[in-house]
Amino acid sequence: MASINAVKIFSGSSSQYLAKEIAKYFGKDLGSTTIQKFSDGEMSPSFDESIRGCDVFLIQSTFPPADNLLELLLLIDAARRASAHYVTVVIPYFGYSRQDRKDKPRVGIGAKLIANLLTAAGADRLMTLDLHAGQIQGFFDFPVDHLEGAAIFVPYLKSLNLEHLIFASPDVGGVVRTRNAAKFFNADMVICDKHRKRANEVASMQLIGDVKGADVVLVDDLIDTGGTMCKAAQLIMDKGANSVRAIVTHPVLSGKAYDNINNSVLTELVVTDTIPLQQQSDKIKVLSVAELFAKAIGRIRDHESISSLFIKY
């Protein structure tokens, strides 16, 4: 019989690779689920063990296809109906976070819709990493633990011992994120100001700041086709930089992304394992977030602050 408020960790099918590592760092086996599928593809998830009275953590990144999100919603509902005491959804990569506002007439706000769906399904808490926009936390009426990728990237960058370090934002929207990264190293920053004609296509770009002789680090929360990042890297090298690399939390990497990166002037693209890579590349280095999430789960279980997991500057 499960003890009252025992912690149990489960995963949807798309994040099993990461959930197993999180559970291992936490010191528990990953719980077992069954995802029954009808012949038309309809899903019916179920838990293979009792979760009555347990604090349940459901791990699933919501990258495409949309089945990943629907599977998570069904697991939340199943947990509620199985009398779980508390349901925390752990979404390392929060899909649809780019749709966080109305940037033109007659469009939806996808991030808010996802928040409503998670609430309606019965989630009690959200744990995630590097949201595209921090204000998305306000879309929820329950606690949100917003972890920072800096805890993963800063130690790695320090290990490189780069002499003349400058941080760069690939667009104006990422200035705050890049400035925060630069503060950890007391370094300067520059901005790549881009203009788009349509989504995933950069029409023009210019550099604001001096990078001559510098080792430049581009900072972003996600990389999709890689067009902006590779164009920014080329511009930075053309302006006299010594080297340019990128640290990006979520490797969406769709379309021609792998070709773009492999053919770019980037020394390396450093990402996390919130989304599994579809291809291997000598230019892509993956850092794991498993230990960070395991520590956060432990602090939530013990009703402790998770702020100690953030790197202070």
* Cα–Cα distance, 65 to 62 (Å, whole number): 8
Q: 285 an active-site residue?
A: no
| Long-range contacts, 44-48 (Cβ 8 Å, 24+) | 44/74, 45/12, 45/71, 45/74, 45/75, 45/78, 46/78, 47/10, 47/78, 47/79, 47/82
Distance CA 204, CA 310 (A): 36
Specify whether the CB–CB gap between 214 and 162 falls below 8 A.
no
- In the three-class reduction of DSSP (H, G, I as helix; E, B as strand; rest coil), residue 167 is classed as strand
Handedness of CA 200, 283, 294, 66 (dihedral sign): positive
Pairing between strand 43-47 and 33-37? antiparallel
Q: Residues 41, 42, 44, CA angle at the centre, nearest 5°?
A: 125
Catalytic residue chosen out of the listed positions 8, 104, 112, 194: 194
User: Do 219 and 247 form a contact (C-beta atoms < 8 A)?
Assistant: yes
Catalytic residues: 194
